[in-house]
Structure 1
Amino acid sequence: MLLVTVGTEQYQFNALMHWIELLTKYQIINEEVIVQYGSSTYFPDGSIAYRLLSEQEFQKFIHRASIIISHCEEGIAQLLEDKDKPYVLVPRLQRFREHVDNHQMEVADDFERRGIAVARSAGDLVKFIKLQQTSEVVPQVDETLLCEYLKERFDEGKLMLVCSSGGNYRYMQSLKAFWENYSDRTWVTFRNGINEREIEDSQRYWAHSPTNRNIPNLIRNLFLAFNVVRHQKPELIVSTGAGVAVPFLLIAKLFCRSKVIFIESKTRIRDVSLSAQILIKLRVLDLLIVRSEAISNVYRKAVYIPVSDTSETIRKKDYKQAKIATFEEIAFIYSPERLEFFTAREFFSDFQAICNADDSYRKIVIDMSHTTFIDGAGLGALINCLKQAKAYGTELVLWSVSGAVMSLLTVTSLSKAFVIESASQTFRFSESTQRIRVSNLTSFGLFLFRVQRLLQKTPILRIFHPILKFWFPAIDIDPGVPVHPSVRDPIKRFIDIVGALIGLGFTAIFFIPIAIAIASESRGNVLFGQVRCGLLSKPFRIWKFRSMVKNAEELKIKVENQVEATAQSHDNADKFFKNANDPRVTRIGSFLRRTSLDEFPQFWNVLTGDMSLVGTRPPTFDEINAYELDVEYQDERYTEWNRLDVKPGMTGVWQVNGRSNVRSFAEVVNFDIEYRKKWSIGYDLQLIVKTIVVLFDRKNKAV
């Protein structure tokens, strides 16, 4: 049985209810679900729902539950930490009207640093359920700092360890580096299968549980404390924050003058437990260790020792580091925080492994709940995943796509190609991730984004949106997305507008004579339009003066592609087409290409913001469909897809380095990536000047 509890607060938690229903729909949850829904206005289909539960009923359901999912609150965490049940906490978010503020998000970050499982998305719950987290496989937190502190201050002697079961027992186990040095040690804890199995090399006594509001067991534990302490006479007694320890610590101090250490639970953030308060009042403690700086500010004699928070520790302890979770018919793969050239290859390789596995899956889910950024390589990975899934007849679904990533998918029209699960969209980033995202914002960028949202939503102001988009073509991309700096640079856009207006002026002058010349030589339209890939694969129609015969695209298959194979990629034919003596080119077309007059209509593409005066070579969709992720460029950092990180241009590095000398696709990619790396306003102006010089070079030929 799976227990879901969200407390009795005045705020709903419908998002969690939708997640549970989603997991049931995908058959991830296939057992009885008990829901205590509080003030929520929705609960999952097929579940048994209770608005309120008495303490007795709640304890009964906890005892029956195989997994517990709860809201992220200190009280419930302290309760569940004492149980031998796997549990995960889900923080409430103010944005979804689940709480008055984002305090639970802050608590969640703190809990995660202390090794407590936190889920911020439906995908996180999938991993948690898949791994069936128990006390034996719970993520371990590195307590080296605390153990070293204790070793320095306490010598070897007779040691007694007192704790309850569940989380407090695991907490004591994390201090093994300290207490294993004491050969003469005694355990006092609650009896269960795990404790019996693991405590074999020490003397052990079983306390009576539960002690909360159970007078008979309180009395039994008091008598047990007298007997155990009188018999063992410990020199040092240590407890990890449990009520059962109070009589043992008190009697050891009074009758044996033992040194008493009380290590407060890591779930305590704002105040110490009642047990600690009693021991402080009675002046029993020689050392009180707390894991929250806020508590140490209240109790001046407490020693604050934070939970170790190194990257290696987090990597080892966090169950969410799992990249793949597979079930009978469904596989889940989790995209990294930044799906870019560093990680895109590995991500797609993992996806291929799922597709090529012996078990065939009818559905693959890409969970993007932790992904904040995608570059050209990341988009390439997603596109390749979609193609691979279609090839295997597998349905591909995206979960938890952030607003920032969705803005990129929408701009590039890829949002229409993917199935996105709406019920998963109420995920929440960690506070640390939010801070990183905010650090990418500029006041001006945020202002523009809010203005364009206002213009889109207000009917009477909607007519002004195209004007704003004209000046800032990337306005639809979330300002928190750290795109290439050239994409949002206002100076570059100003230069593009001025250059485009001048260029269109010359185009108007040359248009009539060029049109007459084209029409007199061959039938067909004067202008040639073709769909190309722009920024991050955004489709747009590029315009040129027609330089080929009318049915040139149909005849292309008969023309030899003179592109050379390279060590980087042997299959260049589909990625780039070149023929120095293309028979489809007309006589007037040859002149237009040699003088670059055929490209003058592209000034319109620059003016509309689809292109720039200076950028990368704009590929066709047939070309990018052949792009690969495993081919590396520029010190093995970039892929062919990274050409799409910047806006395509009328000219670029490939133009000024001798268009007729470019013989391979690898050269084009390296030129484009060189521009991506070196870009600046000065570099753009330098390339514009070089382009003008190249145009008057007699050796210049068209690509």
Structure 2
Amino acid sequence: MLLVTVGTEQYQFNALMHWIELLLKYQLINEEILVQYGFSTYFPDGTKAYRNLTEQDFLYLVDRASLIVSHCDEGIAQLLEDKDIPYVLVPRLQRFREYIDNHQMEVADDFERRGIAIARSPGDLVKFIKLQQTSTVIPEVNESQLCEYLKNRYHPQKLMLVCAAGGYFRYMQSLKEFWSNYSDRLWVSVRNSTTEREIEDTRKYWGYIPVKNNLGNFIRNLFLALKVVPSQKPDLVVSTGSGFSVPYLLTARWVCRSKVVYIESKTRFQNVSFTAWLLMKLHVLDLIVVRSEAIANLYPQAIYIPVSKDLTHLNNKLSRDYKQPSIVTFDEIAFIFSPEKFMFSTAREFLINFQTICNNEESYQKIVIDMSHTTMMDSAGLGALTNCLRIAILNETELVLWSVSDAVSALIGLSSLGNLFVIEKDSNTFRVPNSIQRTKVRNITKFGLLLFRTQRLLKQIPFLRVFYPILKFLFPFIDIDPSVPVHPSVRNPIKRLIDIIGSLIGLSFTAIVFIPIAIAIMTESKGEILFGQVRCGLLSKPFRIWKFRSMVKNAEQLKTKVANQIDANSASVTAISDNLSSGDKFFKNADDPRVTKIGKFLRKTSIDEFPQFWNVLIGDMSLVGTRPPTFNEINSYELELEYHDERYTEWNRLDVKPGITGVWQVNGRSNVRTFAEVVNYDIEYRKNWSIWYDLELIVQTVLVLFDKKNKAV
């Protein structure tokens, strides 16, 4: 039996419920599931659900369970470790209204360092269930240092202990070495079977929870505090946290002039709780003890006393980390987990692992790519996913993506193949470790983040929506998540300013020559004046490129009859079909019979490309960039081929916005006869880019146009 429990807090945990339902949908769980769903408003079909359980019933279910999934709480971790049952904890997040703040993420980070199993995605649950790994908690926390400090600071007198139930009560129990020295003591806690059983003192008073967003319970606690505290007149009050304690601490300090000690939770690592902050602001505390050096640095009045842990078994635990496998297989489903930084080197290794699954003797009806820990992906990562999709289709296997972040989803959505990927929406809840989040933030510029947030705001507010096209015109990249690692030229405002000015000048020349060129084209052959073709732009986003028509009307249908002069041996290709050759990447024929007489003149002078100034103006292209590839061309891109010291592949060309001109255009133009030359020219631009380099290429392009030996065809 698998037990899912989310505690009795007043916060829902619907995301976890959807995860469990997802595992049931994929038939990954073959045993009975019991769910204690607390304040969640949703629970999975096919499970036995209990809103609230008595402690006795809960402990009975714990003893019966073969595996337990719980929210991230130190109290439940200690309880489950005592039971020696395989369990995994899932942190709650404030952004999904699962908790008052995000400190459970900090708890999760600390737990992982201590060897406790943490699931941050449904994919992590898949690994845990598959491996049935017992994660040994290292619960031996020695509070002797804290107890010794308190005993030296405060001499025996009348003591009042204030704590809520659950983890707060267990925390107070861990300080017994200190408070057991005070024979004259009383308790204020919350009544349940545990507190009734373990508080042996006769003077104990029961408060009321919950207190968050519950004014009634706060007032009831205040009345109890005004009744109990003045009559008992404690000399010292010690609390282990939570908003529950506030009325009692305020009354003790302001009415009885008691000394108040507040011990911050062990699960606070970056900042104090709101309760601690409020009590410090009101000057209620005689002493605040924090368990994190980072917090102590923020608050000089705080005393930092570290939590001592027994780490003797930690090395053994790390060697059995259940998250180590990158591939997990079931009877008909295989899971593969993408890397944190899905870029060139990791993308190649990932693709090799994916090919291993598909080449396995066992065939799988479905392959799931779990991307829960991927926060950064460039065009090489996109290329790896595209190749995986191609391989899956050839093997007649369904490919599904799990836990795709907003940034990665946006990148996939931009690509020309975005609509072919199946993304499991119920898996999209992210609880990424703080270390990964900080790495992601370091790659985001303040200017890019400001623009991205502004465009989202403009889209959401109706009367401001009219300003979105203006911002989009000035900064075409604003829809791309700022964490997506595109080439620096893409987000450079000076380059965009040059593009706008240059395209307006170019369109002016286009308007002057448009009528005579249109007459010449229509006189020689039937068809449209302008020719539009779908090309792949930045990150393979499709757009329609415009040119003056230089070929006969049915040129595309006649293409099969024209020889491709590109060297067929210039590159190896991962075949999609038996007929695929390297020529599919690049097509050129110096004596193409489909080109009209006026077309040859237009191509020789590059006037046929003048309509592309419109593409530059609207942001699909730039004046200077890489060669815009066709849809068929990127379908044959590979990760195996290496350029420039193994740091780049053909996919890296898509990190740069395509241009009307570039290194390829000024270095040989149509004289280029291998696809590798094209890629090397584009990567040379990618490596050497600067504003001055762009201006230099524009000047060289103009000079090439007046060179009779430019060999343009």
The TM-score, its normalising length taken from structure 1, stands at: 0.75
Deviations 1:445-487 (A, max 9, x none): 2222122112212233323222111111111111222322111
Query: Residue in 1 aligned with 2:610?
Result: 600
Structure 1: how far apart are the matches of 2:379 and 2:305? 55
Structure 1: how far apart are the matches of 2:393 and 2:353? 17
Relative distance call for 1:625 and 1:37 in structure 2 (3 A) is same
Q: For 1:425-464, list aligned pairs within 5 A.
A: 425-464=428-467
Other structure's SS at 2:582 match: coil
Q: Which amino acid aligns with 1:521?
A: E
Structure 2 residue 594 is matched with structure 1 residue 584: yes
For residue 568 of structure 1, report the CA deviation from its aligned partner. 4.3
Q: For 1:524-539, list aligned pairs within 5 A.
A: 524-539=527-542
Is contact 1:19-1:122 (8 Å) kept? yes
Other structure's SS at 1:320 match: coil
For residue 319 of structure 1, report the CA deviation from its aligned partner. 2.4
Query: Residue in 1 aligned with 2:662?
Result: 652
Query: Residue in 2 aligned with 1:24?
Result: 24
Query: Residue in 2 aligned with 1:115?
Result: 115
Runs of 4+ in 1 over 6 A off after TM superposition: 212-215, 294-303, 305-308, 312-315
Other structure's SS at 1:343 match: helix
Query: Residue in 2 aligned with 1:676?
Result: 686
Is contact 1:122-1:427 (8 Å) kept? no
Relative distance call for 1:506 and 1:317 in structure 2 (3 A) is farther
Structure 2 residue 646 is matched with structure 1 residue 636: yes
Is contact 1:344-1:377 (8 Å) kept? yes
Structure 2: how far apart are the matches of 1:488 and 1:524? 38
Is contact 2:3-2:34 (8 Å) kept? yes
Structure 2: how far apart are the matches of 1:326 and 1:84? 27
Deviations 1:240-281 (A, max 9, x none): xxxxxxxxxxxxxxxxxxxxxxxxxxx96579xxxxxxxxxx
Structure 2 residue 98 is matched with structure 1 residue 98: yes
Deviations 1:76-113 (A, max 9, x none): 11222223221111000010000110010011111112
Structure 2: how far apart are the matches of 1:59 and 1:439? 45
Structure 2 residue 576 is matched with structure 1 residue 573: no
Structure 2: how far apart are the matches of 1:514 and 1:11? 69
Which stretches in structure 1 are left out of the alignment for 5+ residues?
Answer: 142-211, 216-266, 272-289
Residue of structure 2 aligned with 1:421, choices 408, 421, 424: 424
Deviations 1:215-235 (A, max 9, x none): 9xxxxxxxxxxxxxxxxxxxx
Is contact 1:535-1:644 (8 Å) kept? yes
Figure out how many residues of one structure are paired with residues of the other and give that number: 562
Structure 2: how far apart are the matches of 1:315 and 1:694? 62
Relative distance call for 1:270 and 1:560 in structure 2 (3 A) is closer
Structure 2: how far apart are the matches of 1:79 and 1:295? 28
Other structure's SS at 2:552 match: coil
Is contact 2:88-2:118 (8 Å) kept? yes
Structure 2 residue 484 is matched with structure 1 residue 481: yes
Query: Residue in 2 aligned with 1:162?
Result: none
Q: Which amino acid aligns with 2:409?
A: M
Q: Which amino acid aligns with 1:60?
A: Y
For residue 413 of structure 1, report the CA deviation from its aligned partner. 5.2
Structure 1: how far apart are the matches of 2:420 and 2:124? 25
Which stretches in structure 2 are left out of the alignment for 5+ residues?
Answer: 140-195, 200-264, 270-289, 574-580
Is contact 1:572-1:664 (8 Å) kept? no
Structure 1: how far apart are the matches of 2:599 and 2:311? 71
Query: Residue in 1 aligned with 2:172?
Result: none
Is contact 1:291-1:306 (8 Å) kept? no
Query: Residue in 2 aligned with 1:351?
Result: 354
For residue 621 of structure 1, report the CA deviation from its aligned partner. 0.6
Is contact 1:296-1:304 (8 Å) kept? no
Structure 1: how far apart are the matches of 2:67 and 2:614? 60
For residue 535 of structure 1, report the CA deviation from its aligned partner. 0.5
Is contact 2:266-2:307 (8 Å) kept? no
Structure 1: how far apart are the matches of 2:598 and 2:318? 64
Structure 2 residue 504 is matched with structure 1 residue 506: no
Deviations 1:388-431 (A, max 9, x none): 22222222111111111112122235442222111111232221
Relative distance call for 1:697 and 1:120 in structure 2 (3 A) is same
Other structure's SS at 2:335 match: strand
Query: Residue in 2 aligned with 1:154?
Result: none
Deviations 1:178-227 (A, max 9, x none): xxxxxxxxxxxxxxxxxxxxxxxxxxxxxxxxxx9799xxxxxxxxxxxx
Q: Which amino acid aligns with 1:103?
A: H
Relative distance call for 1:409 and 1:444 in structure 2 (3 A) is same
Query: Residue in 2 aligned with 1:2?
Result: 2
Deviations 1:41-97 (A, max 9, x none): 111111111222222222222222111111011111122222322111100001000
Structure 2: how far apart are the matches of 1:296 and 1:613? 54
Structure 2 residue 55 is matched with structure 1 residue 55: yes
Deviations 1:19-53 (A, max 9, x none): 00110111111211111111111111111112222
Q: Which amino acid aligns with 2:557?
A: E
Once the two structures are overlaid, the 10-residue window that deviates more, 529-538 or 563-572, is: 563-572
Is contact 2:4-2:33 (8 Å) kept? yes
% same residue = 72
Relative distance call for 1:299 and 1:60 in structure 2 (3 A) is farther
Q: Which amino acid aligns with 2:2?
A: L
Query: Residue in 2 aligned with 1:662?
Result: 672
Is contact 1:127-1:325 (8 Å) kept? yes
Structure 2 residue 389 is matched with structure 1 residue 404: no
